[in-house]
Structure 1
Amino acid sequence: MEEFNTSLVTFNISSTPDHPSTASWVSVKLVPSVVLSICFLLGVPGNIAVIILKPNWQHLSNLSQSLMLNLAISDLICLLPLPLWIYTLLYSWTLGLVACKLLTYLMYCSLYSSRLSVTLLSVQRYLQVVNLQNIFDRVGKRRLLVLLWLVPVILSIPSLVIRQVIEDQHGTSCRGTHAPPSQQVAVLLPECLIGFVSISVVAFSYIGVQRKVNQTAFFNNPQTNRLITSLIVTFFGLWMPYYITNVLGVAAILLKNDGLWKFCLNSWNIFGALAFVNSCLNPLLYAFALKNLCTLCEERER
């Protein structure tokens, strides 16, 4: 795909010049490619290690272990095709229409599943630490895990429909087809809403946990506070720029502002690559460093 981003569609209101400037090529293609390469090199081994080693999982409930495993699998599925996307970003798409649709669909399914897993983990921590409730356990672990993939499967359908292999003067790309403005907005808005809701829920949950930690003298330690802060800041900092760009994209479509749309097209490459950093960091944040929070939950339940 010529414009690699995690938006469901890529719209070419104005084409990229045949001979783009060096600065434009570096910012739009080289920088995202480097970021995605680092994500692949660090994230794939990290998530495989989580799946195999299950670090600190003895402190987790069965439901938490299932959510952690689902998170690692989702991130791994998301990161494995990155070499192909990097090649496509730098050169062109060579695998045909079926692969274009299926790989894009798989990417969105894994991204949505990862975000939902992070959101549910944060809510579960909040309920355990603050309210001493285990609502998710009553729902049933299997039902919850089915929903964790059923919802992404449904939300990712637009990518399966819209993605096409397009040939133009710049080469062959796997990207969204030209669509009427109403369809463009209909695709971007739900993604924005889901993203903002996820970020808000994660922030609210961990801020609630942090307040409870600070009220408990035994657990009021800088290490736990730093961990909670890193969970919030990482999820917020890596995803918010992408969602803000989506909002600007919607504004550009509604206002028919070509200049703003060009900015969004260029920004999606960079901010989309940053979003993949989240899948790279998840093993460190949610698997290798949650022992303090797990201990806190156990003490609160006694």
Structure 2
Amino acid sequence: MAFQNNELSSNASVSPGNFILHPSWNYNGLVPSVVFFLSFLLGVPGNIAVIIFRPNFQHLSSVSQKLMLNLVVSDLLCLLTLPLWIYAFLYMWTFGPVACKLLTFFVYFSKYGSGLTVTVLSVQRYLLVVHQKNWTYQMGVRLLLVSIILSIPPLVFRQVITNENTTLCESQYSSEAQWITVLLVEGLVGFTIFFLVVFSYTRLQKKVKQAAFFNNPQTTRLVTSIIMSLLVFWVPYHFFNVLSAAAIFLNNEDLFKFCLTALYTVKALHAVNSCLNPLLYAFTSHNLCCKKSLSTKI
């Protein structure tokens, strides 16, 4: 699953950019499985609770409410697939090629949908608070289409592979260039989302500090939590994707093996983000709303 004969095979079958690498009861298999289990246990009820009770939605505009629901549904779809990935981590893939492709598509569709929704939500708040511009465009269909387009490559490349008496659901590329391109595109999208969110909330926070009518301590904690959660649970995943692409390009076996080992953990951390989103965006988002001096809801 790594380099073959100390060189990259043009038919290499490894998935440094996806959820599962190989099943194992060792450290590399148990750690992500435990994290996935806890994320499923806590995240599914949390996201369902937001859908049912819609906490603090009365403080939000209709656009923000739709974005919030889109975020919750995206995270919920990702979390609901975790039990199958846990089984595949610890044992092997036994669900067939169709399930392999469809589950991979749902994972990426929900991941991109969640990330893009967080981006639009942060930019929309930035535009309203800093520039007093209300975002009135219909973003739901656009987000859906972009998420589907970005999820097509994993759907195409994911295959069920039998290797050394082990059946795996992995991506298989026809060339190193193809492999590197997929990794870099995913990394580019990930870092773009991160920088847009950081920029939007940083500028929003600067505006907040200039307005005495905002609750500065609560808003500061919320903005800091949002940025730090992305830094801890989002950035490492995409960083090691880009580093994996560099290892493939440089034909560096040691660096590539290091990236594979690291990705066992960072993929699990990436799933935790779907568990935290309801707490960060739904249950505390009213702290970014100024009801006294801004008549327009965010």
One fold, TM greater than 0.5? yes
Counterpart of 1:266 in structure 2 is: 261
- Taking every aligned residue pair, what percent have the same amino acid on both sides? 54
Q: 2:294 aligns with which of 274, 277, 300?
A: 300
Matched, 1:222 2:217: yes
| Ranges of 4+ aligned residues in structure 1 off by more than 3 Å | 3-6, 8-11
Taking structure 1 as reference, are residues 155 and 133 closer, same or farther at Cα in structure 2, changes over 3 Å only?
Answer: same
CA separation in 1, counterparts of 2:15 and 2:216? 40
Q: Paired residues, what number?
A: 285
Kindly tell me: are residues 9 and 77 of structure 1, through their superposed partners in 2, closer, same or farther at Cα, counting changes over 3 Å?
closer
In 2, distance between residues paired with 1:75 and 1:9?
15
Residue pair 2:187, 2:242 contacting (<8 A) in 1 also = yes
Q: What is the rounded CA distance, in whole Å, between the counterparts of 1:256 and 1:75 in structure 2?
A: 36
CA RMSD of aligned residues (A): 2.2
Offset at residue 301 of structure 1 (A): 4.3
TM-score by length of 2: 0.90
* In structure 2, distance between residues paired with 1:93 and 1:32: 16
In the TM superposition, what whole-angstrom CA distance separates every residue of 1:159-211 from its partner, at most 9, and x where no partner exists?
Answer: 11111111111511100114311001111111111111100000000001111
Q: Partners of 2:240 and 2:274 in 1: how far apart?
A: 20
Structure 1 match to 2:202: 207
Matched letter for residue 102 of structure 1: L
Alignment match, 1:33: 33
The whole-number CA distance in structure 2 between the counterparts of 1:293 and 1:132 is: 14
Q: What corresponds to 1:251 in structure 2?
A: 246
Separation in 2, partners of 1:5, 1:118:
26
| Alignment-mate amino acid for residue 151 of structure 2 | S
TM-score (norm 1): 0.89
Three-state SS of the structure 1 residue aligned to 2:170 is strand
Matched, 1:283 2:278: yes
Alignment of 1:87-236 (within 5 A): 87-134=87-134, 136-137=135-136, 139=137, 141=138, 144-236=139-231
3-state SS of the aligned residue for 1:133?
coil
Amino acid corresponding to residue 250 of structure 2 in structure 1:
L
Whole-Å separation in 1 of the counterparts to 2:219 and 2:149: 37
Query: 1:83: how far off?
Result: 0.5
Rounded to whole Å, the distance in 2 between the matches of 1:201 and 1:192 is 14
Cα shift at 1:218: 2.6
Amino acid at match of 2:98: V
Amino acid at match of 2:87: Y
Partners in 1 of 2:285 and 2:158 — Cα distance?
A: 38
The reply on whether 1:7 has 2:17 as its aligned counterpart is yes
- Most deviating of 263-272 and 277-286: 263-272
Unaligned runs of 5+ in 1: none
Equivalent-residue separation in structure 1 for 2:256 and 2:17 (angstroms)? 13
